[in-house]
Each structure stands twice: as structure tokens, then as C-alpha cells.
Amino acid sequence: MDSLANVSREVDQPQDIEHGSDHVDRTRWVLDTPEPPSLWRELMDKSSSSFKARLQLRSVVLFLEGLFPVLSWGRHYKFWKFKNDLMAGLTLASLSIPQSIGYAGLAKLDPQYGLYTSVVPPLIYGLMGNSSELAIGPVAVVSLLLSSMIQKVVDPGADPITYRRIIFTTTFFAGTFQAVFGLFRLGFLVDFLSHAAIVGFTGGAAILICMQQLKGLLGITHFTNKTDVISVLEAVWRSIHHAQWTPLSFLLGCSFLIFILITRFLGRRNRKLFWLSTIAPLISVILSTLIVFLTRADKNGVQIVKHIKGGLNPNSARELMFSGPHVGEAAKFGFISAIIALMEATAIGRSFATTRGYHLDGNKEMLALGVMNIVGSLSSCYVATGSFSRTAVNFISGCQTVVSNLIMAGMVLISLELFTGLLYFTPISILASVILSALPGLIDINGAYHIWKVDKLDFLACIGAFIGVLFASVEIGLLAAVTISFGRILLYTIRPRTEVLGRLPSTDIFCSISQYPSAVKNPGILIIRIQSSLLCFANANYVRERIMKRSMEEEGKGKETKTNEKGRIQVLILDLSNLMNIDTSGIHALEELHKKLASHGIELALANPWSQVIHKLKLAQFVDKIGERIFLTVGEAVQACLPNIKDQEMASL
């Protein structure tokens, strides 16, 4: 037994020695972390990661497969997939043809340009795109955006040639920006438009498009070029008041609008009837055209499409404007269009990719969209992107790959070659009905209500974009959304929270006492966590003042309860676990905080600093100033400070 006791003492002795030096060892762990990489190294790593990956492939074949995914999945393409893609492509074309003609009118272009945009961009995306479901072509929001911006520079009615040239140049710049975003992995730029801002923007744009389609639905000849809802409603009221509208156009358009909505309702109630709602717009165009042709309703005021230029997409490379007074505006319009088009395409593509259980590479998608718009600008197309309504139809139709886009483009091309003459008597009111029937899906009332319930500041961005689009312009709505989103980021950056921590009973967990009222504070110790990832010039003084204010409040409480002591707080522990980086202003704020605390007899200690932070604190010699009171965890900092507090209390007695 004595020998066992001796062995036990021999084993326990080195453990006691280890525990005695435990604090010193753990402090060295924090202070002796490897130096973080330099700023230049970080920038080079981030910008060249994609190029390094390509170099590591060491294979031209793999590089081409990454650039053209069709080379990869095409080897395993089966006949049964083609049958599904064929049906989806035909269904998609039946919806795309009337929508493309209508969206071209929304962009203030001749009808054939909408059809051109449904040919070349889908073909290019079919070679480079990654999404199996995304349906490419003209969309309502981008069409409205282009017309609302460019008609402020050039009137499409007075100078249609210059207007069209600016459209093509804007498309070229939009594609260039999108391709650059993809090449340099700058997809985060799209994220500056939050989900709430997108909901508000698309909802406002949808209502505005509805208002503008009243021109075609009512057969109004003279209409305003302004895009705000007040101007549009004034123009509609003025036309109705002065009898400058066509009741027959309104009756024809409303009749087929009701027909399209009924078929859509039936398609939602019975999944097997989805094809009926899909081909309803094409049926409406065919029947209304036949009615106008047989009754000669165009002689009674019903506006018709008239001649649509057929044939292959003409070359528009010579129409691009890279000199002159409008180049700057075209570049600006291209950047805005690129962001909106990317936002819509990536949101739609990712949602359907998640449904089918595969990952969609955002940077490759940006490159594909950019290349297709660059090529499109050279072939008489305007900005194309993914359409929500057509993508949903493509998905429901059972598409398997992007071949459905290729088939859809082929059908539109056949229509351009053979059937454009048959659309001469198509009434404008039917095209307005087709557009109106596609817009309810853009107004997400439930989404807006959910945003309101969850986050009021997020809802502010949503309603700001909505009101800006409706009552000012599309650009103002975008600017409002981005401004509010940036303002929210700045608010959280400039005014970060500082939480007082306490220990949960019977645990070693330290957490916010405001979140967990049962957490207990240690006498003589104040623990504060900085709820910010960056302590910099923008928030350093605010954080310092907040910490000093909390320290003085606790010291005042100590004086009220224990008048014989100088103050209740003797040690302030800063939990830096959330702080990822710090600049010179932040270091200066910590130095001032240390001096002020020392003047009140309060020691400063740091817990769990990140490598970037501790590296800069060592370079600024701040570690030497606080006497290396740096700890691995808050719990260790409390355990190390408790003996000093007890010694000071005994000395005061």
C-alpha cells in the first residue's frame, strides 16, 4: 500500500507542475501563432485560384469540358433524355414565341427582335450553360429596364435607329460585364441586392408593367414615355376621358386574358393539364389573329402587329457604338442590366438546381450568360437571361438537359423563316394579355409579409425598392434598394453591439446575460464581447465609448453596494472571439481604453484573439503594454484573474 501511495504521489507531482505552468503555456499558444499571409498574398490567392485550378488540370480536354459542359454530359446523353427534352422544347417554344413578341414591344423594339433574342442566346447557353432547367430569352423586367433607361436618352419613336444601336451596345456591355464577373469570380457583386430588395423590385416592376400594358389592352394610340405609375395612370385616364381608346380591343384582350388565366388555374389544380396552360398563349395568338383576319377588326380600330421581318438573325456588329456621345450611357445601362439579369438568372437557376439536387456553379453561369449576350449583341439580340415562367414550364415538362433550350431556339428560328407572315393580323391587345398573364408570379405578397414578420429593416429595403420603382423610375428603385442595403451594412458596422457575458450555472460556458438572464457575473470581473468582425476607424471610438460606459456603470453599482471599496470592477476581460481583424484606429482605441481603465484601477485582459488581431497587436507593442494578459478562453481568463481579485480584497481589509 505504501508503495502504491508513493507511486501515486510521483504521478501526481508532475501533474501539479504541469498545471502550475498551464497559463504560461496557453498564453504562448496565443502569442506564438504563425504570421498571417500578407495582403498581396491574399489578393493573389483569391484572384488566381481559378487559374491555378486550371493549371492543375494539365489537360486541354478537361479545360474545354469546364468551359463547354456539353462535352462532358453529351457523352452520356441517352435517347430517352432526348424524348423528354424534345417535348419540353416544343412546349417551351409555344410559350416563348408570343412572350418574345410581347417583350420586344415592352423594350420599344420591333417584334422580330424578341424572336431573335430567343434564338442565338439559348443556342450559346446550350453549349456553355450548367443549368438543365433554365429557359433563356427576353424577360419582362429587363425589357422594361432597358426601355425606361434608354428612352430618356433617345426617343424610340423619333429616332428608332439610334435607339436600336444603343440597345445593342448596352447588350454588348452587359455581356462583357457578366463575363468579367465570371472570369474573376466577382459574383458577390450580385449579392449586394438582398432577397428583400429583389422581392420589392420585381413586385414594383410587375405592377408597372401591368400599368403599361393597359396601352395595348385598351388600344390607346398616344401614351406617355414616362415609367412611373402616376404618369401611366394619368395617360390612361386622359385617353379614356377623351374616348381615345378602342372598346373592341379591350373586349378581345380581356376575353383571351380570362381564357389564359382559367387554363392556368386548371393546370395548377390538375398536374396532367399543365400543357393546356402552357399552350394557351399560343392558342390565343392563333385564334385572335384568325378572328381579326376574318372580321377585318383592324378596320374598326383594333391595332395589329402588321409586318414582322422574318429570316435569320441579321448581323448587328456594325451597329455597335464605341464612340460618340452615348457610349458612357450605354456602358452604365449595360452594368445595371448585367446585374439585374444575373440576379434573375442565378436566383432561378439555383432554386431549380436545389430541387433536383445538384450544385450550380455561379461563376460559370455568369461566364455563359456573358458570352451569350456578347454574341447576341452581334446578332440583333438584346439582353437575355433566365425567365421564371418559362423555366417553370421547362421543369414541369420534364426537361433533362439544356437540349430543351436548343430545340426551343430551333422552333423559334423555323417560325422566323416560315410563319412570321401569318402574324400580320395578330392584335396588340393579345400580346398585352400574354404579358399580363405572366406577371402575377413576379408579385410575391407572401414573401413580403414573411420579410416583414422576420426583419423590419429588411422589409424597409423591400418597400423602398417597391416604392422607388412605382413612383419614380426603375433606376431610382434599384438605387433605393442598394442604398438601403448598404445603409443596413454600415449601421451594423459602425454601431456594433457589445454584450456583457456571464457564466451559466454548473457549466464553463460564458454567454450574453441579456439573452440568458440566468447567467451569473463574477464579482470584480466584467466580461464584454465585441459583436463585430472588424474593429476599424468606422467603429473604434464607438466601441471604446460603449465599453467605458458599461465599465463605469458597473463601477457605480459597486460603489452603491460596497462603499468601502474603490469600485466593484477590478478586471475587464474583452472576448475577441468574433473579432477577425483590426486596423490602427482599432489598436489606438484599445490603447486609450487601457489607459482610462488603468486610471480607474481596472486591469484589461484579452481572450481568444484571432491570428490577424494578435499579430497586429504584437507589432504595435500593445501586448507588452497589458503585460501579456492574453488568454485562450474567457474561462481561463476568469480563473487567472480571480486570485488577484481576492488578494486585492484582502489587502483592502
Cell of 108: 420599344
Domain ranges of the chain: 77-250+302-488, 497-652
Burial of 305 (0-12, 13-18, 19+ CB in 10 A): buried
Identity of residue 444: D
Proportion of the chain above pLDDT 70, given as a percent: 88
Q: What is the pLDDT of residue 40?
A: 62
- Does the structure show a pLDDT above 80 at 25? no
Cell of 420: 412570321
Confidence of residue 358 (pLDDT cuts 50, 70, 90): confident
- Which one of 170-179, 568-577, 597-606 scores highest in mean pLDDT? 170-179
- Does the structure show a pLDDT above 60 at 2? no
Summarised one tens digit per residue, pLDDT across range 54-96 is: 445 456 767 777 788 888 888 889 999 999 999 999 999 999 9
CA distances from 446 to 196, 246, 498, 499 (A): 12, 36, 35, 34
- Does the structure show a pLDDT above 90 at 50? no
CA–CA separation, 556 vs 568, rounded Å? 8
How far out from the chain centre does Cα 444 lie?
Answer: 16
Calculate mean pLDDT across residues 315-325. 93
- Does the structure show a pLDDT above 80 at 18? no
Question: What length is written for the chain?
Answer: 653
CA–CA separation, 237 vs 225, rounded Å? 15
- Those residues whose C-beta lies under 8 Å from the C-beta of residue 115, and which sit 6 or more positions away, are 97, 100, 101, 104, 308, 412, 415, 416, 420
Cell of 594: 487601457
Under 8 Å between Cβ of 360 and 130: yes
CA–CA separation, 639 vs 644, rounded Å? 10
CA–CA separation, 331 vs 21, rounded Å? 65
- Does the structure show a pLDDT above 90 at 352? no
Look at 26-35, 175-184, 289-298 and tell me which has the smallest mean pLDDT: 26-35
Calculate mean pLDDT across residues 154-158. 92
CA–CA separation, 311 vs 319, rounded Å? 19
Q: What is the pLDDT of residue 17?
A: 36
- Does the structure show a pLDDT above 60 at 453? yes
Calculate mean pLDDT across residues 412-416. 95
Average pLDDT, whole number, for the chain?
A: 86
CB atoms inside a 10 Å sphere around CB 574: 23
537-542 long-range contacts, Cβ below 8 Å, gap at least 24? 537/583, 537/585, 537/586, 538/490, 538/493, 538/494, 539/493, 539/494, 539/495, 539/496, 540/583, 540/585, 540/586, 540/588, 540/589, 541/585, 541/589, 542/494, 542/495, 542/496
Work out the angle at residue 69's Cα, subtended by the Cα atoms of residues 67 and 70, and round it to the nearest 5 degrees: 125
Under 8 Å between Cβ of 248 and 219: yes
284, 215, 277: which is closest to 250 by C-alpha?
215
Calculate mean pLDDT across residues 484-496. 87
Give DSSP secondary structure letters for 117-144.
HTTHHHHHHHHH---SSPPEE--HHHHH
CA–CA separation, 387 vs 385, rounded Å? 6
Q: What is the pLDDT of residue 11?
A: 37
3-class secondary structure, 582: strand
CB atoms inside a 10 Å sphere around CB 611: 14
Proportion of the chain above pLDDT 90, given as a percent: 58
Summarised one tens digit per residue, pLDDT across range 264-278 is: 899 888 878 888 888
Under 8 Å between Cβ of 134 and 391: yes
Q: What is the pLDDT of residue 289?
A: 95
Confidence of residue 20 (pLDDT cuts 50, 70, 90): very low
Calculate mean pLDDT across residues 417-442. 92
In three-state form (DSSP H/G/I as H, E/B as E, the rest C), the secondary structure along 184-218 is CCCHHHHHHCCHHHHHHHHHHHHHHHHHHCHHHHH
Summarised one tens digit per residue, pLDDT across range 600-626 is: 889 999 999 998 999 999 999 999 888
- Which one of 182-191, 348-357, 375-384 scores highest in mean pLDDT? 375-384
**Residue 621 or residue 186, greater confidence:** 621
CA–CA separation, 330 vs 171, rounded Å? 9
> Considering the domain 497-652 in this protein, what is its CATH number?
3.30.750.24
How far out from the chain centre does Cα 398 lie?
Answer: 28
CA–CA separation, 620 vs 291, rounded Å? 83
3-class secondary structure, 530: strand
**Secondary-structure breakdown of the chain: helix, strand, coil percentages, each rounded to the nearest 5:** 70, 5, 25
Confidence of residue 35 (pLDDT cuts 50, 70, 90): confident
Taken in order 462, 468, 474, 479, the sign of the CA dihedral is negative
Summarised one tens digit per residue, pLDDT across range 531-556 is: 999 999 999 999 999 999 998 887 77
Calculate mean pLDDT across residues 573-594. 95
CA–CA separation, 245 vs 564, rounded Å? 90
Q: What stretches of 471-570 adopt beta strand conformation (E)? A: 497-503, 510-512, 525-531, 534-535
Cell of 648: 486585492
Summarised one tens digit per residue, pLDDT across range 237-259 is: 998 888 889 999 999 999 999 99
Q: What is the pLDDT of residue 1?
A: 40
* Residue keyed to cell 459597486: 558
Q: What is the pLDDT of residue 163?
A: 97
Summarised one tens digit per residue, pLDDT across range 522-533 is: 888 999 999 999
In three-state form (DSSP H/G/I as H, E/B as E, the rest C), the secondary structure along 452-474 is HHHCHHHHHHHHHHHHHHHHCCH
